[in-house]
Structure formats: structure tokens, C-alpha cells
């Protein structure tokens, strides 16, 4: 699979490492030559130094033949605009953006709804802060739970607990 990762920070670097190990063709875009060189020295990937949302940089990264774009720069705006450009100019089929600012997330249904004209063409929105908050909330709601997972759009919930010998669950 042809994948472009925008942002070579901790998340982008880890994604690149994991995806390269699964035999994907990765192009990593960042403004830090040093960070790109560091990653390129131990991973089999292409690197492009430049602004992630710039059309020429995306073209240089091979956007016209890319299956997946993952935008994880430090800027929500850059991530969202990069996805917009990736869709409008290059028709990249799947676009993932990290968005941290709660003001964007509060309007998530309008901003990222494929059926809403003028919305941003982001297929998957990742918000690390929101994921952590939801995880903590579920653990508080289910005291003693090790993990709480939702399936089928929240219709099914799996709660992991530790069962002790002689306890009520055993």
C-alpha cells in the first residue's frame, strides 16, 4: 500500500516504523531535515522536507498514486487542509487527520460529515486527548474495570475485570 505520513514527530515516526514493517511503501513529510534523516537512517522509506499542506510537496511525495494519507503534524489546521488538498487535487481515497483542538471536535458532525456540502474530506479523525478522556470516564463509570470497549456503535460493551480465586466471578 502507498502511504504518505505528514509529520515526523513521535506519532508519525512510530506510525512509519510500524507501517514499514508491514511492507507498505511509506513517504514521510516534515519540515525538520534532521528528524527525517534520523528516521531514514534506520527505516526503508522516502522522505520529503517541506510544508505538509503544500500541493507541490504532496505531489513530490507521490500523492497521485497514494492509497492513504495520515496527517499527524503538530497543527490541526495543517492536518485538515492537507486532507482537503489531498482529496481535491489528488483524489486520495482515505485520509486520516489528528485533530486536538476541542473547538473543532465540538463541531465534528458538521466539519467532517461526508454528506454535508462544504465539509472537510477527512475519513477518520483522531483525537488523542479525547480518547484518553473517554477511557478515563469509562473506568470511573465502571469501578474495578481494567478496560472498557464499545462495539457496534455502542450497542455492545465489553468490560474487562480481574477475577480472583474465591471471588464472586469465579
Give the rounded distance of the alpha carbon of 126 from its chain centre.
Answer: 5
What pLDDT, on the 0 to 100 scale, is given for residue 57? 98
**Do 106 and 168 fall within a single domain?**
no
Q: Which domain holds residue 53?
A: 2-126
Shared domain for 109 and 169, answered yes or no, is: no
Whether the Cβ atoms of residue 145 and residue 157 lie closer than 8 Å to each other: no
- Of all residues in the chain, what percent carry a pLDDT higher than 70? 100
| Whether 103 and 135 share a structural domain | no
Q: With a cut of 90, say whether residue 118 has pLDDT above it.
A: no
Average pLDDT, the chain: 90
The per-residue pLDDT for range 47-67, each reduced to its tens digit, is 999 999 999 999 999 999 999
Q: Are residues 47 and 106 in the same domain?
A: yes
Distance CA 163, CA 140 (A): 19
Torsion of CA 24, 59, 71, 38, to 10 degrees: 60
Number of domains making up the chain: 2
Q: What is the per-residue pLDDT across 139-163, written as a single tens digit (0 to 9) for each?
A: 788 888 888 888 887 789 888 888 8
Do 92 and 143 share a structural domain?
no
Amino acid at each position: 500500500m502507498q502511504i504518505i505520513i505528514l509529520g515526523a514527530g513521535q506519532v508519525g515516526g512510530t506510525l512509519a516504523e510500524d507501517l514499514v514493517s508491514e511492507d507498505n511503501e511509506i513517504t514521510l513529510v516534515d519540515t525538520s531535515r534532521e528528524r527525517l534523516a534520523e528516521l531514514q537512517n534506520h527505516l526503508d522509506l522516502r522522505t520529503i522536507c517541506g510544508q505538509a499542506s503544500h500541493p507541490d510537496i504532496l505531489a513530490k511525495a507521490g500523492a497521485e498514486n497514494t492509497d492513504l494519507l495520515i496527517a499527524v503534524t503538530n497543527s490541526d489546521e495543517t492536518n485538515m487542509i492537507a486532507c482537503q488538498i489531498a482529496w481535491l487535487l489528488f483524489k486520495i481515497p482515505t485520509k486520516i487527520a489528528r485533530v486536538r483542538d476541542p473547538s473543532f471536535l465540538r463541531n465534528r458532525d458538521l466539519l467532517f460529515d461526508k454528506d454535508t456540502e462544504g465539509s472537510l474530506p477527512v475519513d477518520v479523525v483522531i483525537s488523542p486527548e479525547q480518547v484518553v478522556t473517554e477511557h478515563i470516564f469509562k473506568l470511573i463509570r465502571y469501578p474495578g474495570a481494567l478496560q472498557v470497549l464499545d462495539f457496534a456503535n455502542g450497542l455492545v460493551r465489553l468490560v474487562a475485570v480481574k477475577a480472583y480465586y474465591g471471588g464472586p466471578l469465579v
